[in-house]
Structure 1
Amino acid sequence: MQITSTAKALALSALFLSLSACVIVSPPTNEDTLTDTDLIRAAEQKESAPTEGAQQWVIGYHHGIAVVKSFQCSDLCPQNTLRVIYYDVPTDATCESIGGVTKSILVPIAITVMPKDYCFPAVIADYWESYP
């Protein structure tokens, strides 16, 4: 059976379309997994501090931005451990542009403390000092 040039062109076009669909990928999106209520609950939660070293991990996404829970510890873990929940600000953004609030928090370093700026989700920023 002889294939006409029109059929060949149609088959080739279909192949290119399917291949281009595989190549064109939408940019990754961070599906929201945390609500304002979830953030408040996480901030209010009492939890034991790690016994050694600083630890941090992403606990979810709020308005498309990664939210990090971090335990900052100095030489006296877990006695001098600070827990902070904050936005992981993308390199091409500022805290304010993603809806966060920049606050300077004293973090333990060796036998002292030093101020460090964090980008807090607005829903927990105003009351951060009152959380455990």
Structure 2
Amino acid sequence: MSILLVFIGGGIGSIIRHGLIQLVKRRSFPSEVGTIVVNLLGSFLLGVGVMVFTGVWETFFLIGFCGGLTTFSSFALDIVQRKSLQTTGLRFGYGVISVGGSIGMLLLGTWIGGGAELY
């Protein structure tokens, strides 16, 4: 049962990720901005979800949906390969915003989701 929940949640998260990245691209932003958006949003939702969901909903939402929505592999590819991140400063800034922002959004989400700490 949990495999099915992860499969369905991951599929939904992936579809939303694709849609958000396409929306950002249509607004004439580089695709890296879309990756930042989905990773920050996913981290925030993960923070809320960890405080709110248990049992099957936890499996569906945290592992499936948020796992499908966020995309560390695309983040890594952006840093290594994207032409719009040609300078070391842009690559560093993109990395700091992505990682630091994701951690910050996770903490904000846990606070909004119930205020308790993760540990």
Give TM-score scaled by structure 1 length: 0.25
> Whose RCO is larger (CA < 8 A, sep 6+)?
2
Larger Rg computed on CA atoms = 1
Greater strand percent: which structure? 1
Give TM-score scaled by structure 2 length: 0.27
